[in-house]
C-alpha cells in the first residue's frame, strides 16, 4: 500500500470540517491509489497535494463559528449603541474623557506630523538605500562630524571595488551673483563634481544632468535664484559674475557673523536650473559650482587647496554609493582599511574613525557636528515623545479612573448581560468597544483642534529654522488611527477586566461596595497625575524665570538706539564721514563683530613672553569711538589711539586675571597675545558683559584693539527712534556703495532675536505644562463629581441636620486634599531633582531653590482645590428635599 | 422561479447524482462528470458543490461501507430529494421555455 504525502494529509485533517473529514479523506485516498497505478507514485503524490490545496476553500474549512458567528455583528451594534447612550447620558464624564484625550492627542498628532515629515527626507533618490554619507569621528569626541576629508571619495572609488560612485560637496561658496551688472542676489552653496547628479536623483528643470557640472566655471542654480536673476527668461547659457563673501550655509542671519571682503571669482555660465521645492533633502543650496573650477581658484589663492589634505576633516561632505548587495558592514571595513593606510603617520588623528551613515538615516538622525542644514536631532524627538506619552498617559488615567468609579452605576447592566449568557470575554469586548469609541471621538476632536492650531505653530520662529512641513497626508492618518486604537485599548483594558469580573448575583443585588481596594488603584493613578503636573509646573516656572533673566540681562553697556550696519567691504572712514552729517546721529564707531551675539573671538593672553600662564580672553577689533558709542566706562588710562595697533584696552576682569591689584598699575605695561605678540595697555574699562546671555554670564576678560582692516560693522548711535534715521542712512549708503544694497540691524532686535528660540522653548514648555495640569484637573473634577453624586443623600441629610457649606467642604473634600498633598510630597522633591539636572546645562542661570517648588506646589494646590470646591459647593447648594424625596 | 437557484456546475452535479442512482459518492460522481463532460473536476470543487446542495436540501446523504482501498474510510452516498427533483425540473423547464421562444430564423445559421 502506498502512502499519500504526510504533510498534505496532516494539513487537510487540520483544516477540514469534522463532519466531512472521513468521507473526503476516503475519496482522496481512493483517487490517490488509482493514480499511483496509472501515473506513478511521484506524480500521484504531487496530484494529491494539489487536490488538498484546492480543497482549502470556505465550504470545506472548519470554523469555530458555533455561537459567536450568529450574533457577533448584532451584539457589536448593541455595544456601540449602549456606548453612545452612555456617552450622551453622562455628559460631564464624556466631556472630561473626550476633551482630555483630545488635548493629549493633539500633542501626539503633532509629533506624528513632525516625524512623518522628517521621514520623507531623501526618499526620492533612486538609490537612497545604498548611498552613505561618511562621518568622521575623532578618538576623543563622542559626537561624530557630518564632514570628512576631501580626498576620501576619490581614494575610496579608486582603491575599493565595492564603491560604484561617489561625490564630494565642498561648502564655502557664498556671496553675490550679478547679472548684467544690474540684478544681484545673495546665494550660498557648494562645489560639486560631475558625479553629483549620478549619485543623487535631483532632476534639472533646465539643462542636462550629465554635463551640467563637468566644465570649469559652470553653475547650477535653483529656480528661485533663476527667477530673481532672469525672471521668466531661460537661464541656461547665461553668463553671471560671482563675488564671494565667504557666507556660511545657514541662512539664519541675525547679523552675527564676521563680514568678509567680497572677492571677485570671475564669470560663470549657468548650466542648469533645479527646483529644490520639489525635493525634500537634507542638502540645501542656492547654487552648485562645478568642482572643476577649483584648480583655478586654488591657483589664484582664493580658495585654500585641501584636495589632498587628510588632516582636515571639516571642509567637505563625502557621499559614497556602493554596489547593490554591498552591506554597511563591508563599507565600514573598507573605511577602516583606509584609516589604517592613510593615518598611520598622522599622530594627531590616529584614532579617527570614518562611519558610514545611510542617506535615509540623516533626517531625522542622531546629533552630528558640522551639519549641512539645521534639523532637530533624533534625541530631541525622544524627549518630545516622552512628554507626549506622559500627557497621553495622564489622559488615559482619567478614562480608567472614571470608568472604574462609574462601574457601580453599571453593575445592573453587567448582571443582566451575564444572566442572559454573556461570557466574560464578550463583556471585555463591550467595554473595550466603549473605550475605543471614546478615543475615536477624541481623535476626531484632536484633528479639528490641530487644524485650528496649525497656523500658530507655523508662525513659531523655530519653525523658520527647522522648516517643518505640517501637511496632513495618508501616513499621518494611518499612524494616528493606530495611536487612537491603542490609547482606547490601553485606557479601557483595566476597567474592562475589573467590570467583567463581577458575578451576576452580586452585581444584581448591588453588593459590590467592596471597592476600597480599587480605590487604592485609582488613588495611585491620581497621585501620579498630579506628581507629573507638579513637575511640569515647576519646569515651566523655572524656564520662564530663566527666560526673563536672559531677556533682561544687564550687559553693562548701552544697547539702546544703536544701529549696526555691515560694512560690506567698504572703507570705514568714508562711511563715517558720510553718516556724520545726518542730523539724528550722535556717535559712530566700527567693530569686528557685534558683541553679545553668537560670534566670539578668543585669544590667549599672558603677562610674560612665554607659553605658560596663558588664559583665554575675548578679543575684538574696534575703532576708538566704540567705547563712547557703547557707553563703556573708562576706569583708568586713555582710549585706544587712532593709529597704533599694539595698544590695547582691557577690562577689569582681564586686570584681575593678569594679577594686578589696581588698574592704574597696569597702564603702559606690556602683555603678550598668544605668548609672543607684545602689546601695551593703554586704558582699562569696567566689566561689560560681552557675551550672549545664553552662552554664559559674560564675566570674560576682554581686550579691545584697533585694526581697521578687520572692521565689518559700523555702529551708529542715534538720538531718538532708530527707525527714523534708517532711511537717511540708506540714502547716504547709496552714494558710498552702488553694488551692495544697504543692510542694517537694530541692535536691540538682534539681541532679542538671538534669544528668541529660547522664547519659543518657553512657550512650548508652558503649553505642555498647562495641558498636563488641565488634564489632571479634569480627572480630579470627574472624581469629585462622581463622589459628590454618590454621596448626595449623605450631603442632604447632613444639611437637614444643620451642617453648613464649610463643614460639608471638609467632609467631602478631605480625601481629595490628602491626595493632592501626597502628590506634592512625592512630586516636589522629584521636580527639584529633575529641574536641577537640566538647569546645570545653562551656563548663565537663575538661582533655583525650594522656593520655586513651593510656588509650584501652591499653584497645584490652588488649582486642585478650586476644582474640588466648585463641585462641592454646587452640590451643597442643592435643596436637600430634591435628593431625599426620590426613591 | 427564483426559488430554485442552481448554478451550472451545481446542475451538472445534481444530474450526475441522478444518473449514478444508488452509486453516487465523491469519486464516482467526479469520474462520471469527467467522462461525460471531458473536463477536470477537483475534489474541492465537487465537495463544496455537494455541501451547498445538501445545505439547500436538494440532496441527502448516508454513510456507506468502508473499503480497504479507501484506507478504511466510509463512502458517502448521495440521493436526490423531492425538492431537488423540483429544482432540476424547474431548471430544465425554464431552459426549454427559453429554447422554444427563440424565433426559427435566429437558429437558421449555416455553418461555413
Residue A654 belongs to some domain of the structure? yes
Cell numbers representing residue A279 in the block: 525635493
**pLDDT tens digits, one per residue of A644-666:** 778 889 888 888 888 888 888 88
**H/E segment holding residue A53:** helix A41-55
Flag whether residue A46 sits within 8 Å of chain B, measured between CB atoms.
Answer: no
From the options 1.10.760.10, 3.40.50.10330, 3.60.9.10, 1.10.10.10, give the CATH code of B8-100.
1.10.10.10
The residue extents of the domains of chain B are: 8-100
Which ranges in A791-847 belong to alpha helices (H)?
A: 792-800, 805-839
DSSP string, A438-503: HHHHHHHHHHHHHHHHHHHHHHSHHHHHH-------HHHHHHHHHHHHHHHHHHHHHHHHHHTT--
Q: In terms of domains, do A288 and A419 share one?
A: no
Residue A379 belongs to some domain of the structure? yes
- How many Cα neighbours within 13 Å face the side chain of A164? 14
Cβ atoms of A608 and A670 closer than 8 Å: no
Count CB-CB contacts under 10 A for residue A411: 19
In chain B, residues with a C-beta closer than 8 Å to the C-beta of A23 are 25-26, 63, 73-76
User: What sign does the dihedral A796-A800-A801-A803 (CA atoms) show?
Assistant: positive
Instruction: Evaluate if residue A259 carries a pLDDT over 60.
Output: no
Express as a percent the part of chain A with pLDDT over 90: 5
Residue A126 belongs to some domain of the structure? no
Is A60's CB within 8 Å of B51's CB?
yes
**H/E segment holding residue B75:** strand B74-80
**H/E segment holding residue B50:** helix B43-56
- Residue B14: its pLDDT value, please? 92
pLDDT band at A65 (very low <50, low <70, confident <90, very high): low
**Residue A128 DSSP class:** G
Cβ atoms of A871 and A782 closer than 8 Å: no
DSSP string, A383-430: HHHHHHHHHHHHHHHHHHHHHHHGGGGGHHHHHHHHHTT--HHHHHHH
How many angstroms separate the CA atoms of A674 and A100, rounded?
61
Is B69's CB within 8 Å of A29's CB?
yes
Residue with cell 565595492: A162
Kindly compute the dihedral angle of the four CA atoms of residues A734, A737, A743, A744, in this order, to the nearest 10 degrees.
-80
**pLDDT tens digits, one per residue of A683-741:** 999 888 877 777 777 778 888 888 888 888 899 998 878 888 888 888 888 888 877 77
Highest mean pLDDT among A5-9, A525-529, B96-100 belongs to B96-100
Residue A814 belongs to some domain of the structure? yes
Cell numbers representing residue A408 in the block: 457601580
Q: In terms of domains, do A453 and A408 share one?
A: yes
Instruction: Quote the minimal CA–CA distance from B22 to chain A in Å.
Output: 17
For residues B94-111, one letter each, b for 16 or more C-beta atoms within 10 angstroms of the residue's C-beta and e for the rest, the string is eeeeeeeeeeeeeeeeee
Is A27's CB within 8 Å of B71's CB?
no
Nearest Cα to Cα of residue A750 among A257, A185, A175: A257
Flag whether residue B47 sits within 8 Å of chain A, measured between CB atoms.
Answer: yes
Flag whether residue B78 sits within 8 Å of chain A, measured between CB atoms.
Answer: no
Average pLDDT for chain A: 82
Instruction: Evaluate if residue A74 carries a pLDDT over 60.
Output: yes
**pLDDT tens digits, one per residue of A495-523:** 888 888 877 777 666 554 545 444 577 77
Average pLDDT in the A79-108 region? 87
**pLDDT tens digits, one per residue of B58-107:** 999 998 887 777 888 888 999 999 999 999 999 999 989 999 998 888 87
Q: What are φ and ψ of residue A179, in 5° steps?
A: -120, 130
**Which of A26, A51, A57 lies nearest to residue B71, judging by beta carbons?**
A26
A457-466, A517-526, A744-753, B62-71: least confident range: A457-466
Residue A60 belongs to some domain of the structure? no
Cell numbers representing residue A69 in the block: 458567528
Highest mean pLDDT among A11-20, A117-126, A836-845, B79-88 belongs to B79-88
- Please name the residue of chain A whose CA is at the shortest distance from the CA of residue B66: A26
Q: In terms of domains, do A885 and A865 share one?
A: yes
Domain count, chain A: 5
Residue A66 belongs to some domain of the structure? no
Contacts for A256 with CB less than 8 Å, ≥ 6 apart: A593, A594, A597, A598, A599, A750, A754
Cβ atoms of A372 and A282 closer than 8 Å: yes
Instruction: Quote the minimal CA–CA distance from A53 to chain B in Å.
Output: 8
Is A59's CB within 8 Å of B51's CB?
yes
- Please name the residue of chain B whose CA is at the shortest distance from the CA of residue A48: B43
Q: In terms of domains, do A393 and A404 share one?
A: yes
Nearest Cα to Cα of residue A276 among A264, A268, A285: A285
ipTM of the complex in this document: 0.87
Residue A562 belongs to some domain of the structure? no
User: What sign does the dihedral A145-A150-A151-A152 (CA atoms) show?
Assistant: positive
Is B74's CB within 8 Å of A26's CB?
yes
How many angstroms separate the CA atoms of A395 and A623, rounded?
61
- Residue A269: its pLDDT value, please? 92
Instruction: Quote the minimal CA–CA distance from A16 to chain B in Å.
Output: 11
Residue A63 belongs to some domain of the structure? no
Domain that holds residue A785: 516-553+747-887
Q: In terms of domains, do A593 and A733 share one?
A: yes
CA A457 from centroid of its chain's CA atoms? 13
Amino acid at each position: 500500500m502506498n502512502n499519500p504525502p504526510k504533510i498534505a494529509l496532516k494539513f487537510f485533517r487540520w483544516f477540514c470540517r469534522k463532519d466531512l473529514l472521513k468521507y473526503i479523506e476516503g475519496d482522496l485516498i481512493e483517487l490517490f491509489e488509482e493514480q499511483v497505478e496509472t501515473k506513478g507514485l511521484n506524480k500521484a503524490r504531487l496530484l494529491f497535494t494539489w487536490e488538498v490545496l484546492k480543497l482549502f476553500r470556505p465550504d470545506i474549512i472548519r470554523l469555530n463559528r458555533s455561537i459567536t458567528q450568529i450574533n457577533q455583528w448584532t451584539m457589536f451594534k448593541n455595544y456601540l449603541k449602549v456606548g453612545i447612550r452612555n456617552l450622551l447620558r453622562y455628559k460631564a464624564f464624556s466631556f472630561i474623557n473626550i476633551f482630555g484625550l483630545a488635548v493629549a492627542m493633539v500633542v501626539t498628532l503633532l509629533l506624528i506630523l513632525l516625524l512623518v515629515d522628517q521621514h520623507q527626507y531623501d526618499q526620492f533618490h533612486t538609490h537612497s538605500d545604498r548611498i552613505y554619507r561618511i562621518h568622521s569621528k575623532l578618538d576623543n569626541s563622542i559626537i561624530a562630524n557630518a564632514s570628512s576629508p576631501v580626498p576620501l571619495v576619490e581614494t575610496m572609488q579608486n582603491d575599493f571595488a565595492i564603491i560604484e560612485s561617489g561625490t564630494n560637496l565642498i561648502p564655502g561658496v557664498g556671496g553675490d551673483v550679478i547679472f548684467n551688472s544690474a540684478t544681484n542676489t545673495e546665494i550660498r552653496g557648494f562645489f560639486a563634481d560631475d558625479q553629483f547628479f549620478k549619485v543623487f536623483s535631483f532632476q534639472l528643470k533646465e539643462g542636462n544632468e550629465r554635463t551640467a557640472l563637468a566644465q570649469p566655471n559652470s553653475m547650477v542654480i535653483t529656480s528661485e535664484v533663476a527667477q530673481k536673476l532672469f525672471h521668466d527668461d531661460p537661464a541656461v547659457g547665461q553668463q553671471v559674475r560671482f563675488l564671494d563673501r565667504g557666507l556660511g550655509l545657514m541662512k539664519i542671519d541675525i547679523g552675527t557673523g564676521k563680514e568678509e571682503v567680497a572677492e571677485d571669482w570671475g564669470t560663470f555660465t549657468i548650466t542648469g536650473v533645479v527646483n529644490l521645492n520639489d525635493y525634500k533633502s537634507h542638502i540645501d543650496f542656492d547654487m552648485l559650482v562645478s568642482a572643476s573650477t577649483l584648480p583655478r581658484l586654488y591657483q589664484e589663492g582664493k580658495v585654500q587647496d585641501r584636495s589632498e589634505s587628510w588632516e582636515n576633516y571639516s571642509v567637505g561632505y563625502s557621499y559614497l554609493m556602493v554596489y547593490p548587495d554591498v552591506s554597511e558592514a563591508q563599507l565600514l571595513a573598507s573605511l577602516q582599511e583606509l584609516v589604517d593606510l592613510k593615518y598611520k603617520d598622522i599622530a594627531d588623528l590616529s584614532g579617527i574613525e570614518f562611519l558610514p551613515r545611510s542617506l535615509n538615516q540623516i533626517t531625522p538622525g542622531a546629533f552630528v557636528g558640522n551639519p549641512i542644514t539645521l534639523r532637530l536631532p533624533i534625541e530631541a524627538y525622544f524627549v518630545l515623545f516622552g512628554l507626549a506619552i506622559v500627557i497621553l498617559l495622564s489622559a488615559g488615567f482619567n478614562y480608567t479612573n472614571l470608568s472604574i468609579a462609574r462601574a457601580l452605576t453599571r453593575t445592573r447592566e453587567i448582571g443582566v448581560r451575564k444572566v442572559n449568557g454573556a461570557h466574560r470575554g464578550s463583556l471585555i469586548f463591550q467595554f473595550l468597544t466603549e473605550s475605543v469609541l471614546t478615543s475615536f471621538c477624541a481623535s476626531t476632536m484632536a484633528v479639528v483642534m490641530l487644524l485650528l492650531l496649525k497656523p500658530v505653530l507655523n508662525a513659531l520662529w523655530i519653525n523658520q529654522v527647522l522648516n517643518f512641513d505640517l501637511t496632513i497626508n495618508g501616513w499621518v492618518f494611518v499612524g494616528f488611527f493606530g495611536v487612537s486604537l491603542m490609547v482606547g485599548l490601553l485606557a479601557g483594558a483595566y476597567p474592562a477586566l475589573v467590570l467583567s469580573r463581577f458575578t451576576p448575583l452580586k452585581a444584581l443585588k448591588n453588593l459590590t461596595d467592596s471597592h476600597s481596594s480599587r480605590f487604592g488603584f485609582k488613588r495611585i493613578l491620581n497621585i501620579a497625575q498630579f506628581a507629573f503636573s507638579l513637575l511640569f509646573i515647576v519646569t515651566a516656572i523655572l524656564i520662564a524665570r530663566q527666560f526673563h533673566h536672559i531677556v533682561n540681562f544687564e550687559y553693562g553697556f548701552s544697547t539702546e538706539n544703536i544701529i549696526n550696519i555691515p560694512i560690506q567691504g567698504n572703507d570705514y572712514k568714508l562711511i563715517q564721514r558720510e553718516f556724520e552729517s545726518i542730523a539724528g546721529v550722535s556717535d559712530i564707531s566700527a567693530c569686528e563683530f557685534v558683541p553679545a551675539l553668537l560670534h566670539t573671538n578668543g585669544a590667549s593672553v599672558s603677562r610674560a613672553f612665554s607659553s605658560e600662564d596663558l588664559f583665554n580672553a575675548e578679543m575684538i577689533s574696534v575703532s576708538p569711538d566704540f567705547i563712547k558709542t557703547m557707553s563703556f566706562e573708562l576706569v583708568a588710562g586713555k582710549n585706544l589711539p587712532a593709529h597704533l595697533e599694539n595698544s590695547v584696552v582691557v577690562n577689569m576682569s582681564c586686570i584681575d586675571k593678569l594679577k594686578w591689584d589696581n588698574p592704574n598699575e597696569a597702564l603702559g605695561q606690556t602683555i603678550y597675545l598668544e605668548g609672543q605678540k607684545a602689546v601695551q595697555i593703554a586704558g582699562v574699562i569696567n566689566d561689560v558683559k560681552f557675551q550672549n546671555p545664553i552662552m554664559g554670564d559674560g564675566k570674560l576678560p576682554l581686550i579691545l584693539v584697533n585694526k581697521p582692516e578687520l572692521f565689518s560693522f559700523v555702529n551708529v548711535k542715534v538720538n531718538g527712534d532708530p527707525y527714523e534715521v534708517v532711511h537717511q542712512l540708506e540714502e547716504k549708503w547709496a552714494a558710498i556703495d552702488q553694488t551692495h544694497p544697504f543692510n542694517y540691524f537694530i541692535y536691540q532686535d538682534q539681541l532679542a532675536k538671538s534669544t528668541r528660540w529660547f522664547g519659543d522653548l518657553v512657550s512650548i514648555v508652558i503649553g505642555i505644562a498647562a495641558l498636563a495640569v488641565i488634564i489632571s484637573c479634569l480627572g480630579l473634577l470627574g472624581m469629585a463629581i462622581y463622589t459628590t453624586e454618590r454621596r448626595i443623600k449623605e450631603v442632604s441629610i447632613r444639611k437637614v441636620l444643620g451642617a453648613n457649606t464649610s463643614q460639608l467642604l471638609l467632609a467631602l473634600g478631605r480625601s481629595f486634599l490628602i491626595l493632592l498633598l501626597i502628590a506634592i510630597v512625592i512630586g516636589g522633591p522629584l521636580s527639584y531633582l529633575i529641574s536641577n539636572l537640566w538647569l546645570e546645562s545653562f551656563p548663565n542661570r537663575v538661582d533655583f531653590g525650594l522656593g520655586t517648588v513651593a510656588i509650584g506646589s501652591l499653584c497645584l494646590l490652588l488649582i486642585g482645590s478650586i476644582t474640588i470646591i466648585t463641585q462641592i459647593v454646587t452640590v451643597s447648594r442643592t435643596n436637600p428635599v430634591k435628593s431625599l424625596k426620590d426613591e | 422561479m427564483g426559488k430554485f437557484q442552481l448554478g451550472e456546475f451545481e446542475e451538472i452535479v445534481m444530474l450526475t447524482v441522478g444518473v449514478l442512482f444508488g452509486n453516487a459518492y465523491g469519486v464516482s460522481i467526479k469520474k462520471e462528470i469527467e467522462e461525460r463532460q471531458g473536463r477536470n473536476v477537483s475534489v474541492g470543487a465537487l465537495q463544496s458543490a455537494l455541501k451547498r446542495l445538501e445545505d439547500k436540501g436538494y440532496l441527502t446523504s448516508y454513510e456507506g461501507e468502508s473499503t480497504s482501498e479507501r484506507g478504511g474510510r466510509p463512502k458517502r452516498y448521495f440521493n436526490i430529494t423531492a425538492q431537488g427533483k423540483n429544482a432540476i425540473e424547474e431548471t430544465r423547464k425554464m431552459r426549454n421555455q427559453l429554447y422554444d421562444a427563440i424565433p426559427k430564423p435566429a437558429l437558421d445559421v449555416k455553418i461555413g
